[in-house]
Copies of this chain bind each other. A is one copy, B any other.
Amino acid sequence: MNSLAEENYLKALYKLGGKSNEVQTNALADKLSTKASSVTDMMKKLSDKKLVNYEPYKGVSLTKEGYAIAIGVVRKHRLWEVFLVDKLAFKWDEVHEIAEQLEHIQSAELIEKLDEFLDYPKFDPHGDPIPDKNGKIYQHLEVTLSQLEKSEKGIVVGVKEHSKAYLNYLDNLNLMLGTEVFIEDKVEFDSSMKVKINNAEVVTISNQATKNLYIKKLN
C-alpha cells in the first residue's frame, strides 16, 4: 500500500513525464508546491520501493510499476469527476479539489463498480481520457483551436488548462464539450479568432484561450 503523499508524487511524475520521460527535481517540486529537498527525500524512498528510476542529479522517471500506480490514481480521479458532474450536478469547474481527495480512496472493487455505474465513460468532464482498468488510455489527437484555419470546422473535445478561471471563461462564451466551432476569421494582430458557435453567435477568443482548447476537426 502506498501513502497519500507517495501517490501524489507518482501522479505528478506521470503528469510531467508520462510513461517514461525524465523529470527534474525542481519541476516536480513546483508541481507539488513543495521544496526540492523534500522531492529528493521522496525519490529515494520511491526508488527503494522500485516505483521510480532515480539517479542523483540526473532526474527521475517512473518504473513500469510506478506508472501503473500513477495511472490508477488518474483513473480514479477522472471517474470521480464524472460522478460529480453527471450524477451530483456539479459544474466542471467545481470538481477538481474534491476529486483530489476521492482519488486516494483504496478499493479496487469500488472503482470497478463506479465505472460500471457511470457506464464506462471514456472521457472526464474536461475531455481528458479515462484509463481503463488495464491502464490503457486513448489519447486525443492533439489539435487545438489555435491550429484551425479560416473556414475550418470542429467540435470541442477537451481543455488543456483546468483552472477555474479558464473554465468559467469558456462557460461564459457558451463553449463546452461537444460545442461546434467554425472559424470565421483569424486576427493577425493579436492571433485572436472570431469563432461561430453552434451555428449561432460569433465570439472573439484570445490566442491564450484558443491554445488551450482541444478540437476534433470536421469535414
Binding site for B on A (CB under 8 A): 84, 87-90, 94, 97-98, 101-102, 105-107, 109-110, 113-114, 117
A106 in contact with B114 (CB, 8 Å): no
A117 in contact with B88 (CB, 8 Å): yes
Q: Is the interface of A mostly helix, strand, loop or mixed?
A: helix
Question: What are 19 residue pairs bridging A and B, where the CB atoms are less than 8 Å apart in the complex?
Answer: A84-B110, A87-B117, A88-B110, A88-B113, A88-B114, A88-B117, A89-B113, A90-B109, A90-B113, A94-B109, A97-B107, A98-B105, A98-B107, A98-B110, A101-B105, A101-B106, A101-B107, A102-B102, A102-B105
Chain B residue with Cβ nearest A98: B107
> When chains A and B are docked, how far (Å) is the Cα of A135 from the Cα of B208?
47
> When chains A and B are docked, how far (Å) is the Cα of A110 from the Cα of B102?
11
Closest 5 CB pairs of A and B: A88-B113, A101-B105, A98-B107, A98-B110, A88-B117
Chain B residue with Cβ nearest A94: B109
> When chains A and B are docked, how far (Å) is the Cα of A26 from the Cα of B135?
46
Chain B residue with Cβ nearest A104: B101
Chain B residue with Cβ nearest A97: B107
Chain B residue with Cβ nearest A4: B4
Chain B residue with Cβ nearest A88: B113
Chain B residues whose C-beta falls within 8 Å of the C-beta of A90 in the assembled complex: 109, 113
Question: How far apart are A109's CB and chain B's nearest CB, in angstroms?
Answer: 8
Chain B residues whose C-beta falls within 8 Å of the C-beta of A102 in the assembled complex: 102, 105
